[in-house]
Amino acid sequence: MKINNLIYLPALIFLIVTFSVGCTYFEKGVPQEVTIVSFPNECSIFINGEAVGITPYVAALPRKIVHEVRLMKQGYNQAVKYFTPVPNEKSKNFIRFGLSEDLGYYVDLKPETMDADMKSELVPASLGVDPFEKMAKQALEADRRLEDGEISAAEHKFIIEQIISFFEENV
């Protein structure tokens, strides 16, 4: 009699695991693959407050809830962006099935690819008394970081473009 009871044990474990995973999908939706890229690369990524990796990064996120993405890198201001569920083409169907709706198949996370250009901390918040002196100081600091190997040539170019753009827009 005890041998027959052991036969049901794997089936019971399978049902428990399936039910617990299935409940998560009903609550948050089935995962959707999204991509996070940034310039500069190798920014730390935090999704909903949890550290997950560095850019570029591909994640499978539940599609029925909003996800906050925070990007951080030394020398740059942090960037905060969001993946948001948006009704897709399937949501326009006249006939929709309850299980598909419960699992989130009628919404997609947007954007599918998140592209973040990080703003350098060398870009000032205001012009100051002498804007040209301030611009020169910021550019020289970027040059120093390049010479010391703290940033790459591509990052240097990007930072200089941000500094020049700020002063062109505000002077």
Q: What number of other Cβ atoms are within 10 A of residue 118's Cβ?
A: 22
The whole-number pLDDT of residue 59 equals 93
Structural domain including 165 reads: 131-170
Query: Do 141 and 163 touch, CB atoms closer than 8 A?
Result: no
Inside any domain, residue 122: no
My answer on whether 63 and 104 are in the same domain is yes
The reported pTM is 0.74
My answer on whether 58 and 137 are in the same domain is no
Among 14, 159, 48, CA closest to 59: 48
CA distances from 39 to 95, 120, 156 (A): 43, 11, 12
Residues pairing with 76 in the sheet: 120
CA atoms within 13 A on the CB side of 99: 1
Summary mean pLDDT of the chain: 83
My answer on whether 112 and 160 are in the same domain is no
Kindly state the average pLDDT of the residues 55-77. Answer: 93
My answer on whether 33 and 106 are in the same domain is yes
My answer on whether 88 and 149 are in the same domain is no
Q: What percent of the chain clears pLDDT 70, i.e. is strictly above it?
A: 77
My answer on whether 113 and 138 are in the same domain is no
Kindly report, residue by residue over 88-127, the tens digit of the pLDDT: 887 677 776 666 666 666 788 899 899 999 999 999 888 8
Could you tell me which residue, 51 or 130, shows the higher pLDDT?
51
Q: Which residues contact 150 (CB under 8 A, 6 or more apart)?
A: 75
| CA atoms of 53 and 43, how far apart (whole Å) | 8
My answer on whether 66 and 24 are in the same domain is yes
Inside any domain, residue 126: no
My answer on whether 109 and 146 are in the same domain is no
